[in-house]
Amino acid sequence: MKRSRRRSPTPEARAVLSSAPDKSDSKIPGIKEIAQAAGVSIGTVDRALHSRPGIRAATRAKILQTAEQLGYRPNLAARYLKLSQQRRIEVHLPQEIASFFDPLRDGIRHAAAQFQPNLEVEFRSYPRIGQGEVESIQTFLEHDCDGIILAPSSLSKISPLIRKATARGIPVVCVATDAPGTDRLTSVSSDPFTSGAIVAELFTQLRKGVREVAIVTGDLSTFDHSEKVRGFRAMLSDLNSAISLVEVAEAHDDYREAYRQTCDLLARRPGLGGIYVSTANSLPVIKGLEDSGRIGTISVVVTDLFPELVPLIHTGKVFAALYQRPLTQGRMAFEALYHFLMEGIRPRPVHKLPPHIVLRSNLDLFIENSVVELEG
Amino acid sequence: MKRSRRRSPTPEARAVLSSAPDKSDSKIPGIKEIAQAAGVSIGTVDRALHSRPGIRAATRAKILQTAEQLGYRPNLAARYLKLSQQRRIEVHLPQEIASFFDPLRDGIRHAAAQFQPNLEVEFRSYPRIGQGEVESIQTFLEHDCDGIILAPSSLSKISPLIRKATARGIPVVCVATDAPGTDRLTSVSSDPFTSGAIVAELFTQLRKGVREVAIVTGDLSTFDHSEKVRGFRAMLSDLNSAISLVEVAEAHDDYREAYRQTCDLLARRPGLGGIYVSTANSLPVIKGLEDSGRIGTISVVVTDLFPELVPLIHTGKVFAALYQRPLTQGRMAFEALYHFLMEGIRPRPVHKLPPHIVLRSNLDLFIENSVVELEG
DNA sequence: TTGAAAGCGGTACCAC
DNA sequence: GTGGTACCGCTTTCAA
């Protein structure tokens, strides 16, 4: 009597419950119930369930079977409580670009807060991509943590570290961009190929006058950046688009370089109808457009979403933004790592998120959501 | 010594750790540590932390303070273990339209599986909207569950039930559409106003030739449906669009009615340039377009995503689909309810998701994702 | 090869 | 008002 605070349904009520599973009154089976049913002790049950040594094959088989037919599900709360071995994961991400990596960290923090038990998350941030990342990540060698989340921006330098970590049994999850060919546990990123393709489609379908489009990117040796160009090209040919990609300028995520390149580009291309900025470095490009007086005549599609873009999208100076959903990336990266560590569930090898297409009509919703919550 | 399976970092290593918080060696503080520090017993600590009666104000204050300065965080695993009062929530959703409500249920199931502890989810499905929903939901009166997720399709009939549940202390979360004016815990839905606005923007920016657009909806007395029309109109005027909304046809989610209405519409409007189907009932509209031979000449935007649409989008017969993200809706609804039940955290009153804009360029990614995972 | 028992950190009940 | 203690279900150690 004392355990059921809920009054048990009357027979009448029970009859009405079309889909109510008739669990009768049997309490939820635990390892104790299995032991009793199989006529052994709970220690033996544990050995059987976890394939531990020191048990006869026959005993194990019998226990496994009764567990099965009792529909045993381990009580995770109890397990986590017992195994309070306070696991710890490290998150190595750059400070810059903050508009992307800050919400990515928030996504991880938020997810971690939900799952609380036994997992301490430690954020270790280095100044920017290509500056201090190796030093930051290397430290895992010293503090043997249980898992790592990182952004493998410069593949050649980070891949060996990923391999080393994996060799030590420390799973690594890549975010923001992938490190293919390494044995990372999984990767979570906005799919760059699709990003490029979307922009090509938008220009083709929504900007009928446009013939010449240029891309301003960061560095084509970065996987993410070159994939966007590849996706753009692929979609143009898929659609038999009237548009041609006339230039791809590399600005190396630098404000002044992007500004200069944009000015040069505009001078060279009087017929330019569109620009796709495929990194977060869009403000200097817009400044260049404004300074040259061509801001209204050229359609601009940018990447990521930050406060300065809001009025630009509202006024139509920027036609669309591709939002790479850093909060969601953080959440998914954490969940994948968490489930692997706690339950041994191996996630699928790659998670490609569709980027959100932000237009004037849906802009407000993104602003509302990105502030507090996990962005939907 | 015996608890730390991790070797403690060498002094050298420690010096390198720029951001390592110096927790020294103090074990994570539990209620026992608080008791010791405050010079009371754990029972008293519990009373203080939970504002339970039977404790002197001074004692409570002191305990709260030491808990604060020790940085106490309750161990949820332990709490859940103790409170194994197997809570139960009920999910009342229609079977139709399966392409939307099946993944919504999957989203709930998936989220529930992640959070396991102490929460049994019971799905109770009724045939379709407006058919058996009241009877299904009413049953909560008999089995006093701890929380309810439902889709309040017909407001007038369901609102009283929501109020009744809330009055009994059973929190209700609305999905798919909102029930404003009731005291539901929260609602999770794709924002219909924004959906309409997006479509208006797409048509406006699209082929500049389009002048006349029609909407095929379900029933304007449904909040979701009328909001989409309102959003569409609002965006048209916002953009000074050249487009006019020439007709709004109500097909009441019926295949044959939608087909007939489409045929009539096409006959009446030789100059029609676009159709927005604002419910999942898009297949009969497309059939009508095909039968009349105008499938290529009229731009079509549809709602939701299901297998039959895939080839249509690929071939360009359908220009865009607004995907209302049922998996995400299910996940968010569950999480809101879960955190309220388990931790007393009240979610913000309304969650408006931005719908995904599905085009030819990003279609494949949605197909990949929707299959297994939580859709990103 | 197996059984018995000691906890993990809270909560809820008893007795004082 | 307060302190003590028996649990929750699982893992792990030690003894048989």
pLDDT in tens, B163-198: 999 998 899 999 999 998 899 999 999 999 999 999
| pLDDT tens digits, one per residue of B317-332 | 999 999 999 999 999 9
Q: Say if the Cβ atoms of A81 and B77 lie within 8 Å.
A: yes
With beta carbons under 8 A apart, name residues in chain A contacting B75. Answer: 81, 84, 117
DSSP type of residue A18? T
**Nucleotide with smallest C1' distance to residue B29 CA:** C9
Q: Are residues B250 and B280 in the same domain?
A: yes
Bridge pairing between strands A356-358 and A320-323: antiparallel
Tell me the CATH number at B141. 3.40.50.2300
Indicate whether B108 and B158 sit together in one domain: yes
Query: What is d(CA B84, CA B250) in angstroms, rounded to the nearest whole number?
Result: 49
pLDDT at residue A287 greater than cutoff 70:
yes
| Same domain flag for B162 and B240 | no
Residue with tokens 């490609």: A352
Cα–Cα distances in Å, from A54 out to A44, A45, A321, B51?
9, 12, 60, 49
Per-residue pLDDT tens over the stretch B20-53: 343 445 678 999 999 999 999 999 999 999 999 9
B346: Cβ contacts below 8 Å, ≥ 6 apart: B185, B340
User: CB–CB of B206 and A207 under 8 A?
Assistant: no
Domain that holds residue B181: 81-189+326-353
Are B198 and B204 spatial neighbours (Cβ–Cβ below 8 Å)?
Answer: no
The count of C-alpha atoms lying within 13 angstroms of the C-alpha of B95, restricted to the half-sphere facing its C-beta, is: 6
- Pair of tokens at residue A301: 């599609």
Tell me what pLDDT residue A139 has: 86
Q: Which of A64, A100, A133 is nearest to A305 (CA)?
A: A100
Residues 194-223 of A with CB under 8 A from B: 194, 197-198, 200-202, 205-208
Q: What is the CA radius of gyration of chain B?
A: 27
Q: Of A3-17, A250-264, B328-342, which gets the smallest average pLDDT?
A: A3-17
- pLDDT more than 90, % of chain A: 66
Answer yes or no: pTM beyond 0.75. Answer: yes
For A119, the 3-state DSSP assignment is: strand
Cβ contact B2 with chain C strand, < 7 A? no
CA A259 to chain B, closest CA, distance in angstroms equals 28
Q: Quick check: helix, strand or coil at residue B298?
A: coil
Q: How confident is the model at residue B144 (pLDDT cuts 50, 70, 90)?
A: confident
Footprint on protein of nucleic strand D, Cβ below 7 A = A 27-28, 30-32, 42-43, 46-47, 49-50, 72, 74-75, 78-79, 81-83; B 39-44, 47, 53-56, 59, 78, 81-82, 84
Residues 6+ apart with CB under 8 A from A68: none
Chain C, protein-covered positions (CB within 7 A)? 1-5, 7-13
Closest Cα in chain B, distance from residue A78 (Å):
6
CA of B79: nearest nucleotide by C1' is C10
Whether residue B98 lies inside any domain: the answer is yes
- Judge: A117–B76 Cβ closer than 8 Å, yes or no: yes
Domains held by chain A: number: 3
**Spatial distance between the Cα atoms of B327 and B329, rounded to a whole number of angstroms:** 5
In whole angstroms, how far apart are CA B84 and each of A3, A34, B80, B171, B297? 9, 19, 6, 20, 61
Instruction: Look at A142 and B348 and tell me if their CB atoms are within 8 Å.
Output: no
Q: Give me the residue from A77, A125, A328 closest to B376, CB to CB.
A: A328
Q: Which of A54-58, A108-112, A127-131, A319-323 has the lowest mean pLDDT?
A: A127-131
Residue B244 reports pLDDT greater than 90: yes
- Determine, yes or no, domain membership for A6: no
Residue B313 belongs to some domain of the structure: yes
Within a domain: residue A5? no
Chain A, 1 to 20: residues with Cβ < 8 Å from chain B are 3, 5-7, 9-10, 13, 16-20
Residues shown for chain A:
376
Q: How far is CA B47 from CA B41, B56, B66, B81, in A?
A: 10, 10, 14, 19
Query: Do the beta carbons of residue B305 and residue B351 sit within 8 Å?
Result: no
Q: Is the pLDDT of residue A17 over 60?
A: no
* Torsion-angle region of B10 (φ positive above 0: left; ψ -120 to 50: alpha; else: beta): beta
In a domain, residue B373? The reply is no
Q: What is the DSSP letter of B127?
A: S
Torsion, Cα A317 A322 A328 A330, to 10 degrees, reads -90
pLDDT of residue A375: 53
Same domain, B144 and B201: no
Residue A290's alpha-carbon distances to A257, A307, B66, in angstroms, are 16, 18, 58
Residues A269 and A235 in one domain: yes
* A115-124, A311-320, B248-257, B288-297: least confidently modelled range: A115-124
B176 and B159, same domain (yes or no)? yes
Does one domain contain both B115 and B199? no
Domain containing residue A27: CATH number: 1.10.260.40
Residue B72 structure tokens: 């106490």
CA distance B115 to B131: 32
Give domain status of residue B273, yes or no.
Answer: yes
Asked if residue B333 and residue B184 are part of one domain, the reply reads yes
Closest chain B C-alpha to A269 CA, distance in angstroms: 24
Residue B252 to residues A312, B220, B256, B268, Cα–Cα distance (Å): 40, 9, 10, 20
Span CA (A119) to C1' (D13), Å = 25
Domain boundary among A53, A73, A93: A73
DSSP category for residue A189: E
A13 has a pLDDT exceeding 50? no
pLDDT at A261 > cutoff 90: yes
Identify the residue among A359, A361, A367 best suited for mutation to test binding to B, counting B beta carbons within 10 A and taking the highest.
A361
pLDDT for A12 equals 28
Q: Considering B323, B344, B367, which residue would you say is the last residue of a domain? A: B323
Residue B202 shares a structural domain with residue B214: yes
Closest chain A residue to the Cα of B76, Cα to Cα? A117
Asked if B124 and A18 come within 8 Å (Cβ–Cβ), the reply is: yes
**What value does the mean pLDDT of chain A take?**
88
Whole-number Å distance between alpha carbons of A298 and A275: 7
In this structure, are A181 and A211 located in the same domain? no
Residues with Cβ within 8 Å of B40's Cβ and at least 6 positions away in sequence, in order, are: B59, B63
Nearest-Cα distance to chain B for A198, in Å, is: 5
Bond into B129 cis (ω within 30) = no
A161's tokens:
């570290």
Which bases along strand D come within 7 Å of a protein CB atom?
Answer: 1-5, 7-14
Chain B contacts of A355, Cβ < 8 Å? Answer: 362
Confidence of residue A88 (pLDDT cuts 50, 70, 90): confident
pLDDT band at A10 (very low <50, low <70, confident <90, very high): very low
**Which chain B residues contact residue A9 at CB under 8 A?**
142-143
B361: left (phi over 0), alpha (psi -120 to 50) or beta: alpha
Q: B100 is written with which tokens?
A: 């939307």
Q: How far apart are the C-alpha atoms of A48 and B150, rounded to whole Å?
A: 41
Contacts 24+ apart (CB under 8 A), B219-225: B219/B250, B219/B252, B219/B253, B220/B248, B220/B250, B222/B153, B222/B177, B223/B155, B223/B177, B223/B178, B223/B180, B223/B192, B224/B176, B224/B177, B224/B189, B224/B192, B225/B192, B225/B278, B225/B279
Domain membership flag for residue A303: yes
Tell me how close the Cα of A256 comes to any Cα of chain B, in angstroms.
31
Check pLDDT > 90 for residue B83.
no
CA–CA dist A156, A182 (Å, integer): 11
Residues, chain B, total? 376
pLDDT at B370: 63
Let me know: does A148 contact A137? Beta carbons within 8 Å.
yes
A86 shares its domain with A23: no
Q: How far is the CA of B37 from the C1' of D4 (A)?
A: 18
Q: Is residue B68 part of a domain?
A: yes
Contacts of A357 in chain B (CB under 8 A): 357, 359
